Chain A
């Protein structure tokens, strides 16, 4: 049965649609503008003749970017850090969370506190920096000269993700585990054949969180990676922005595309791959928030 809407309900409905449309457009607009500005001619970009659609379309900024070896280098570094960093973080998080989810683990309360305390208190930037310097010295001492590995191994841990995994593991009925043990499964087999398949979506969510934090990592990568060939994309974008916003640099600029177009092109290049995989990962992204209500 369709009920006729009351006046107040109708007003609210109209209001919702209007304001949501405005907000959604505001979310979308900077991206559209960035794309337009990256493919417009120099004069149109410099004097803001484009508002929405591109003018004097050319792809020189993209061509310049794609012919830049440092760009591809930065991209491959980011892929490296994201891939290996996520795998490394997932391995110790899953193993640790599995052990923590077992009631028979001794000193379980202490181990939980050990994790949770890192969410409450962090030493801060300077002690962290000194710690990474020492780690770097140790790594160099054993022959690992690439700072990439320092970033992969020593960064990107998140107690919250381990707690999410632990809660998911705790939710698996113990009867299934017991059945597997009766069938002669070892601890690792129980984990890989019972727990991992049953907690697939939580693991995917956590993997996504790790991957995003790796992909986005900027501050420590910039501090700790000294070799410019090892710098990830985020650091590359920032350094390019700093270089291209320099007034002297802009004054000496002379090309068919504006110096700003290069920055916009780079921004577009870094967003596009995420947009491509966005439809596939969106449901896990949304799930992560709702499993946030956790108990000790």
Chain B
């Protein structure tokens, strides 16, 4: 076997010489007139490109132009001048956030830690719940009964964040002279899970309970809906697999371990990797709607930090620097997760 000298030369066995590949002339032509070729293709399919334009413009204007505004994190903030004409400040905003001795710096580190911790708790307690629910759904023989349970558990997902948080606020509200505390607080006191004084002062005013409220309301809202994908994986398992296991004398636990778990493992892995990728992209709306100045210690995440300093306060440079660091780390996590998913399960998420 003779190795080719170059792409455009073909070794001729008969004459033991090299000759030029005839197709190369065409390729040369395309290469020489590449842009002409491009223009011809575009003119031929011009309707396709017209169709593409509105989408490209929308994303350019309202997804990419804001990235240009990120330049503001390297500039001296100014409310009048556009970002291109502001004075350059180097990395001073980043330095202030990362290594400053000021309250801004401590608040930033607290926010970064809270972002991670809130997400992590959400993953730790929230991730297994849909899987467990899907296993339970699978146990229910009658279709009508199962649909009934499923419809009920999807229900909270249909509420908006505002309505959901309003309900949470009302159900754990503080007690006052003219009114009692919220019904859920009262239930928890009756079950002796929390002391009366704490519940009466309002659970949302107590930093110790914010994370629990955030995570539990998240499970309440999303577990039913998230179970759909796992349930789809479970009902795809052939009944013969269970029968074979039963004939071999497997009890329920063994069936779970050796039949169900291997079948839904790839779904679990993909969902888990996606969730880990999104660890720093926390839903800030829900935090903004639930937190107050009493609970900043545990509730303040980077987005709400940026909201307070940039939108409500005037430190736009500091705020966008903080969020940029958070989002860059978040992007690395997403890309890393996607790469791992591609290798682990031959499935690319995007």
Residues of A at the B interface (CB closer than 8 Å) are 3, 6-9, 11-13, 15-17, 19-21, 23-24, 26-28, 30-31, 33-34, 45-48, 51, 91-93, 95-100, 102, 104-106, 111, 114-116, 118-132, 135, 153-155, 157, 159, 162-163, 186-188, 191, 215-216, 218-219, 223, 234-235, 237-238, 241, 245, 247, 250-251, 258, 260, 263-264, 267, 270-271, 274-275, 278, 282, 285-286, 289-290, 292-296
Contact = CB atoms under 8 A, between A and B. Distances in A.
B225 A99 contact: no
Given A46-B179, A91-B54, A219-B288, 16 more contacts: A8-B251, A8-B252, A17-B139, A24-B149, A33-B183, A96-B51, A106-B41, A106-B42, A237-B162, A263-B166, A267-B163, A267-B166, A282-B154, A285-B225, A289-B226, A294-B350
B59 A129 contact: no
A54 B195 CA distance: 28
Given A27-B153, A219-B285, A260-B170, A98 B161 contact: no
Rank and list the top 7 A-B pairs by shortest CB-CB distance, nearest first.
Answer: A96-B55, A124-B323, A127-B69, A216-B160, A126-B310, A123-B66, A16-B139
Q: Would you call the interface of chain B mostly helix, strand, loop, or mixed?
A: helix
Contacts of B61: 131, 135, 154
Q: Would you call the interface of chain A mostly helix, strand, loop, or mixed?
A: helix
B244 to A, nearest CB: 13
A126 B162 contact: no
A187 B48 contact: yes
B123 interface: no
Nearest to B306: A125
Contacts of B326: 124
Contacts of A120: 331, 334-335, 350
A45 B223 CA distance: 30
Interface of B: 38, 41-42, 45, 47-49, 51-52, 54-56, 58-59, 61-70, 72, 83, 133, 135-137, 139-140, 149, 151-156, 158-163, 166-167, 169-171, 173, 176, 178-181, 183, 186, 220, 223-226, 228-229, 232, 246, 251-253, 270, 284-285, 288-289, 303, 306-307, 310-311, 316, 319-320, 323-324, 326-328, 330-331, 334-335, 347-350
B23 to A, nearest CB: 21
